[in-house]
Amino acid sequence: MDVKIETSWKSKLKEEFEKEYFIKLSEFVKDEYKAKTIYPPGSLIFNAFNLCPFQNVKVVIIGQDPYHGPGQAHGLCFSVREGVDFPPSLINIFKEIELDLELSRPESGNLERWAAQGVLLLNATLTVQARQAGSHQKKGWEQFTDSVISTLNKEKQNIVFFLWGAYAQKKGESIDRSKHLVLESVHPSPLSASRGFFGNKHFSRCNDYLRENGIEPINWK
């Protein structure tokens, strides 16, 4: 199957694209785009991969679903397009960065600037129906993104994985803690952020680890 994705990922995941589940998933997604309003736009489904080639990955942040409101999702977890109001979880992420690193809140919620530095902003499910949270779960995307995490876990070392909330932590259970740094806390959503997301210092801990391993740290601004 010819999947339009960045070349290094295409090479790493080529066997996955030929599996029966992925072929069924592709047909489902194509039909959904034809019949309904689906986010992100079709050309941006693999945006996280296109902006962060396999060889560049230093950090992985795991989200769940794309945003399901108009104009928000563009293929990067927690990120929104230029000019779009910050969703509550993203506001809390920027609050923790300010607490941790004393960096003032940026004007843009578009996190492409992180992706360009090697941050893979990976949603577990890569598509969603408008205003229907979770509508494309259990269609095959989770198996695909599990394979992405497994490939990174096996083939690279010294990646920092951010696992915020029970869902992300379960998805990251198999990551080899002897090869990578796994940072866990509650989710940054307003329901849980005050119970351990604020003050987790994940962003400074990530950069300390990268520096210790001779890797350029991330500018989280």
Q: Is 85 a catalytic residue?
A: no
Q: Hey, which residues does 60 pair with through a beta bridge? A: 120, 161
What phi and psi, each to the nearest 5 degrees, are found at residue 2? -90, 95
Indicate the burial class of 113 (C-beta count within 10 angstroms; 0-12, 13-18, 19 or more).
Answer: middle
Give the C-alpha separation, 95 to 107, whole Å.
13
Note if the bond before 41 is cis, omega within 30 degrees. Answer: no
Cα separations (Å) of 67 from 20, 99, 161? 27, 26, 21
- Active-site option among 65, 85, 100, 208: 65
Q: Which residues participate in catalysis according to the annotation? A: 65
